[in-house]
A = this chain, B = another copy of it.
Amino acid sequence: MATKKVTYKEAITEIEEILEKIENEELDVDELAEQVNRVSALITICKDKLHKTEAEVEKILKDMNQ
């Protein structure tokens, strides 16, 4: 779960790939916990990125309206 260098897009793609694998039952139960952890980590990363972006945008808009 170390790779924090993933882009938002890569993270989303990976999340979707894992979800699809789970859906298609391509995942072994043995791997499940690990993969769920991975998705969780990726979602957290994405949410962090989003929050950061949101704050930034808010600031820009505020600046613009003044």
**Candidates B36, B53, B57; contact of A60 at CB < 8 Å:** B36
**Candidates B8, B44, B63; contact of A29 at CB < 8 Å:** B8
> Quick check: is A2 within 8 A (CB to CB) of the other chain?
no
In the bound complex, what is the Cα–Cα distance between A12 and B18 (angstroms)?
22
- How far, in Å, is A41 (CB) from chain B's closest CB? 9
Contacts of A60 in B (CB 8 A): 33, 36-37, 40
In the bound complex, what is the Cα–Cα distance between A9 and B26 (angstroms)?
11
Contacts of A28 in B (CB 8 A): 7-9
Contact B29 A46 (CB under 8 A): yes
- How far, in Å, is A63 (CB) from chain B's closest CB? 7
